[in-house]
């Protein structure tokens, strides 16, 4: 479990390294806002179109192999990006990193699921959901010092180096790991794994929960600094630190949810409670009459409850897979849903705020998404109980 979790954290570091480096990248490479936005969003776009395919590929060629291949792609993309002299080479390098990131994060949960059982499996998969907020938070905090010391190229090489170290660790662990064979073996054709995975309602319900959570989280962490700086005249460094704390809260609640899953709290119940908590948190965070400090606390609560959604989603995934041979495919569906939420949330919130003129106008958008999440959780309850019967 630890090896897979660290691999996910390192992969997430490739996501978190970009925001602190964007100002220097724009200045040195002459990136306009459009080019910078493509560099920033390529991970989400790649995840939207390729996650399920990579998950099915993991089921076909083996989860260890795909994880190691993913780390190799992260190294190649990181080194190539450090040598980029313009927008196009940088974009290509980010695309390679995006494929590597996906390969790691769709394969690693399957490794965890195959290595654990019962309550331990649910706890481990719940912990796994914290890989992204933890990796992004660490990198956001470390990157400014690294950039000041070795510029953005040094940061790219540092993160690629971490992936290289962990590739060696995973390769050594793979040789010692006992082989696991699913009931239908892992030699199912890729397209059959995809067909079996996407033909069931359960994975799509959980994926919808993931979209509703991720769209809210990424809308908040994208636009919270802008709100703090433009509406409250806050220093950029302070706004960045407060936003990093929101991301950290998301990761902390993921680990808390993992512990609750180990204590036999059903995943569907965590989904439902999280939806209710996010509803009330959204009411507090986006209501104009609430003091700013309280609104920020509600943002922390909303992001934290969302972390429990991620943990519960990965924990319930094995019970929704047609067989262990399609577990990577199901994880791919969840990662694809997460990527879609990341891509969808910020522009939808921006459109609503632009149309109505205030940040508070996003209130019912956020509340509606959370209410729908809670409702979908009850449908997940029905499906998981039917699967256990």
Per-residue pLDDT of the chain (389 residues; tens, 9 = 90+): 689 899 999 999 998 888 788 788 888 888 776 677 778 778 888 888 888 888 888 878 888 999 999 999 999 999 999 998 888 999 999 999 999 999 999 888 888 887 777 777 778 888 888 888 888 888 888 888 888 888 999 999 999 999 999 999 999 988 876 655 443 344 567 777 777 777 788 888 999 999 999 999 988 887 888 788 888 888 877 887 888 899 889 988 988 998 898 888 899 999 999 999 999 999 999 998 899 999 999 999 999 999 999 989 888 877 777 777 777 888 888 888 888 988 888 888 888 888 888 889 999 999 999 999 999 999 988 877 665 55
How far, in Å, CA of 354 to CA of 352, rounded? 5
Q: Which of 158, 169, 155 is nearest to 7 (CA)?
A: 169
Burial code (b: 16+ CB inside 10 Å, e: under 16) for 201-239 equals: ebbbbbbbbbbbbbbbbbbbbbbbbebbeeeeebeeeeb
How far, in Å, CA of 191 to CA of 299, rounded? 41
How far, in Å, CA of 62 to CA of 166, rounded? 18
Going 171 to 172 to 175 to 180, the CA torsion angle's sign is: negative
CA distances from 208 to 20, 187, 318, 338, 375 (A): 30, 29, 17, 9, 11
Q: Which of 297, 273, 290 is nearest to 224 (CA)?
A: 297
Question: Could you tell me how far CA 312 lies from the centroid of its own chain?
Answer: 13
Q: Please give the pLDDT value at position 326.
A: 76
Q: Please give the pLDDT value at position 183.
A: 39
Going 207 to 37 to 89 to 169, the CA torsion angle's sign is: negative
Domains and CATH numbers, the chain: 2-388 (1.20.1250.20)
CB 316 within 8 A of CB 330: no
**Maximum Cα interatomic distance, the chain, rounded to a whole number of Å:** 60
Q: Which of 224, 330, 311 is nearest to 268 (CA)?
A: 311
**Owner of token pair 């179109």:** 49
The number of beta carbons lying within 10 Å of the beta carbon of residue 314 is 31
Going 287 to 293 to 297 to 299, the CA torsion angle's sign is: positive
Burial code (b: 16+ CB inside 10 Å, e: under 16) for 64-100 equals: bbbbbbbbbbbbbbbbbbbebeebeebbebbbbbbbb
Q: Please give the pLDDT value at position 185.
A: 42
Give pTM, 2 decimals: 0.81
């Amino acid at each position: 479990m630890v090896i897979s979790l660290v691999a996910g954290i390192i992969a997430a570091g490739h996501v978190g390294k970009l925001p602190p480096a964007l100002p220097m990248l724009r200045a040195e490479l002459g990136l306009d806002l459009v080019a910078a936005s493509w560099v920033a969003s390529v991970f989400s776009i790649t995840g939207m179109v390729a996650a399920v395919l990579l998950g099915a590929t993991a089921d076909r060629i083996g989860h260890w192999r795909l994880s190691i291949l993913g780390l190799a792609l992260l190294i190649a993309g990181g080194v190539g990006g450090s040598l980029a002299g313009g927008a196009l080479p940088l974009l290509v390098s980010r695309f390679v990193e995006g494929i590597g990131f996906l390969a790691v994060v769709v394969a690693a949960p399957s490794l965890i699921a195959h290595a654990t059982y019962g309550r331990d499996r649910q706890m481990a998969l719940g912990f796994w959901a914290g890989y992204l907020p933890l990796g992004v938070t660490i990198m956001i905090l470390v990157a400014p010092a690294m950039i000041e010391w070795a510029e953005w190229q040094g940061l790219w090489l540092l993160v690629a180096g971490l992936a290289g170290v962990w590739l060696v660790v995973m390769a050594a662990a793979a040789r010692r790991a006992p082989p696991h064979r699913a009931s239908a073996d892992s030699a199912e054709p890729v397209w059959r794994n995809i067909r079996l995975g996407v033909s069931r309602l359960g994975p799509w319900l959980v994926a919808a929960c993931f979209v509703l959570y991720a769209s809210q989280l990424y809308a908040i962490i994208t636009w919270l600094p802008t709100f703090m700086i433009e509406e409250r005249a806050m220093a950029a460094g302070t706004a960045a630190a407060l936003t990093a704390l929101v991301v950290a809260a998301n990761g902390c609640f993921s680990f808390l949810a993992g512990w609750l899953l180990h204590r036999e709290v059903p995943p569907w119940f965590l989904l439902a409670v999280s939806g209710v908590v996010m509803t009330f948190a959204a009411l507090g965070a986006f209501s104009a009459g609430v003091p700013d400090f309280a609104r920020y606390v509600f943002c922390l609560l909303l992001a934290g409850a969302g972390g429990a959604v991620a943990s519960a989603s990965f924990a319930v995934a094995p019970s929704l897979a047609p067989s262990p041979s399609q577990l990577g495919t199901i994880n791919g569906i969840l990662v694809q849903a997460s990527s879609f939420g990341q891509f969808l949330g910020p522009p939808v919130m921006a459109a609503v705020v632009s149309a109505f003129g205030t940040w508070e106008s996003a209130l019912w958008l956020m509340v509606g998404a959370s209410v729908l999440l809670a409702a979908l959780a009850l449908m997940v309850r029905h499906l998981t109980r039917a699967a256990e019967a």
